[in-house]
C-alpha cells in the first residue's frame, strides 16, 4: 500500500482552526476564505482517513484522534517558528560556515591573510578553504564562493570582477649578473627560460607588443613547472627568466628579489580574476558580506 504524503500546510491550517475556535475566525486570521479552509480541513481528514473535528452550528469539538493530531501539529508549528527564527538570524547576522575555493597561487599569496582578517571581523563565521587549481563545481560540492582566473562562460553563477591580471617578465639579480640582461625579445633565445606547463600544454611561446607590432618568441629552458609559486621560487633562485602573472610575483618585485625586464614592451594580457557564487533567490548574508569584503580588500592597492 502506498504511503500517504501529508500536506504540512493543511496541518498548519488545522492547528489554526483549533486555536481560533472556528473556521470563520481562522479564515479571517489567515486571510483566506471560509470555504477554502473548510475544503483544506476535509482534504486533511480524507488523507488521514479519520474525522478530526465534530462540527456543529455553535462550536467545534476535537475528536479523540483530532486531539492527538493537534498535539503533533503544534510541534510542527513550533518547528516552523524555530526555522523562521533561524533563517531570520542568518539573514540579519554574519554567521555560519563559509566554503571557499581558490586557485593555489592566489590562495597562498593573497587570500589566506584576508581570511584571518575576515574571521576576526566576523567571529561567528567559520571558513573552509579549498586551495586547488581545478575548476570546482560550486553546486555539486556545496561551495559558497570561488575565486576564478579565467574568461567566464555564461552559466548559472553570479560573477563579480576583482581585477585584471597583467603579466611580467622577471629574473633574479643573480641570474642577470651571471648571464646578462636581455634588451629585446630576440635576446631570449640566448637565455634559460622557466616555462609554465598545464597538463599536456607547454606555454613556451611568449608574445611582446611594441608600437602595435607583436613579436612571438619560442623560448627554451631546462626547467618546466606546472605551479606558479614554484615557478616564482625557481626564478628567485636564479634559474632563469620567467613570464609570470604580476599578482603572483608582486611581493618578490617589491623586495627586489626579482627584476622586471623588457619594460619597453607590452605583454599579452593575463586572465581576469572573478569572485563567483551560485545564483540563488536568497543570498546568505555571510556570502554577500564576504563577496563585498573581497571586492574591497583583495588586490587593493
The string of pLDDT tens digits covering residues 149-161 is: 887 776 778 888 8
**Average pLDDT for 137-152:** 85
pLDDT tens per residue, range 95-137: 888 999 998 888 878 898 899 999 999 999 999 998 887 788 8
**Average pLDDT for 18-43:** 82
Cell of 289: 558580506
Q: How far apart are CA 254 and CA 257, in angstroms?
A: 8
* CA-to-CA separations, 255 to 8, 173, 244, 252, 259, in angstroms, rounded: 64, 12, 16, 5, 10
pLDDT for position 245: 87
Q: Which residue has the higher pLDDT, 87 or 197?
A: 197
Share of the chain above pLDDT 70, in %: 90
At 251, is the pLDDT very low, low, confident or very high (cuts 50, 70, 90)? confident
Q: Where is average pLDDT lowest: 36-40, 78-82, 276-280?
A: 78-82
Q: Is the pLDDT of residue 90 over 60?
A: no
pLDDT for position 84: 57
CA 172 to chain centre: 36
pLDDT for position 86: 55
At 259, is the pLDDT very low, low, confident or very high (cuts 50, 70, 90)? very high
Q: Which residue has the higher pLDDT, 133 or 254?
A: 254
Among 10-14, 175-179, 212-216, 227-231, name the most confident range.
175-179
pLDDT tens per residue, range 52-88: 888 766 677 888 888 888 888 777 766 666 665 555 5
Cβ atoms within 10 Å, residue 235 = 26
Q: Which residues contact 234 (CB under 8 A, 6 or more apart)?
A: 194, 223, 225, 240, 242
- E-strand stretches of the chain: 53-55, 60-62, 96-102, 125-131, 145-149, 157-164, 167-171, 193-198, 201-203, 205-210, 213-218, 223-225, 241-245, 259-261, 266-267, 272-278
pLDDT for position 1: 42
The per-residue pLDDT of the chain, averaged, comes to 84
pLDDT for position 240: 95
pLDDT for position 69: 82
pLDDT for position 284: 82
Q: Where is average pLDDT lowest: 120-129, 184-193, 198-207?
A: 198-207
pLDDT for position 87: 57
At 297, is the pLDDT very low, low, confident or very high (cuts 50, 70, 90)? confident
Amino acid at each position: 500500500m502506498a504511503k500517504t504524503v501529508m500536506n504540512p500546510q493543511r496541518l498548519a491550517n488545522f492547528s489554526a482552526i483549533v486555536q481560533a475556535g472556528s473556521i470563520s475566525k481562522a479564515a479571517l486570521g489567515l486571510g483566506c476564505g471560509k470555504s477554502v479552509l473548510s475544503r483544506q480541513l476535509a482534504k486533511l481528514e480524507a488523507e488521514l482517513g479519520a474525522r478530526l473535528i465534530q462540527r456543529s452550528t455553535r462550536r467545534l469539538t476535537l475528536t479523540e484522534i483530532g486531539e492527538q493530531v493537534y498535539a503533533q501539529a503544534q510541534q510542527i508549528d513550533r518547528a516552523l517558528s524555530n526555522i523562521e527564527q533561524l533563517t531570520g538570524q542568518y539573514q540579519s547576522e554574519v554567521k555560519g560556515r563559509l566554503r571557499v575555493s581558490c586557485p593555489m597561487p592566489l590562495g597562498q599569496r593573497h587570500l589566506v591573510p584576508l581570511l584571518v582578517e575576515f574571521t576576526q571581523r566576523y567571529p561567528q563565521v567559520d571558513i573552509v578553504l579549498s586551495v586547488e587549481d581545478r575548476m570546482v563545481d560550486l553546486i555539486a560540492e556545496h561551495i559558497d564562493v570561488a575565486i576564478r582566473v579565467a574568461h567566464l562562460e555564461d552559466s548559472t553563477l553570479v560573477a563579480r570582477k576583482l581585477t585584471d591580471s597583467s603579466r611580467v617578465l622577471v629574473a633574479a639579480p643573480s641570474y642577470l649578473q651571471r648571464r646578462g640582461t636581455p634588451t629585446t625579445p630576440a635576446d631570449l633565445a640566448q637565455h634559460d627560460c622557466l616555462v609554465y606547463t598545464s597538463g599536456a600544454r607547454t606555454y613556451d611561446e611568449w608574445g611582446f607588443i611594441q608600437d602595435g607590432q607583436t613579436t612571438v618568441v619560442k623560448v627554451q629552458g631546462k626547467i618546466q613547472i606546472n605551479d606558479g609559486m614554484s615557478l616564482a621560487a625557481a626564478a628567485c633562485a636564479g634559474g632563469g627568466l620567467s613570464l609570470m602573472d604580476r599578482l603572483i610575483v608582486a611581493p618578490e618585485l617589491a623586495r627586489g628579489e626579482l627584476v622586471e625586464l623588457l619594460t619597453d614592451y607590452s605583454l599579452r594580457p593575463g586572465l581576469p580574476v572573478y569572485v563567483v557564487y551560485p545564483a540563488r533567490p536568497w543570498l546568505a548574508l555571510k556570502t554577500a558580506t564576504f563577496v563585498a569584503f573581497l571586492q574591497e580588500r583583495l588586490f587593493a592597492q
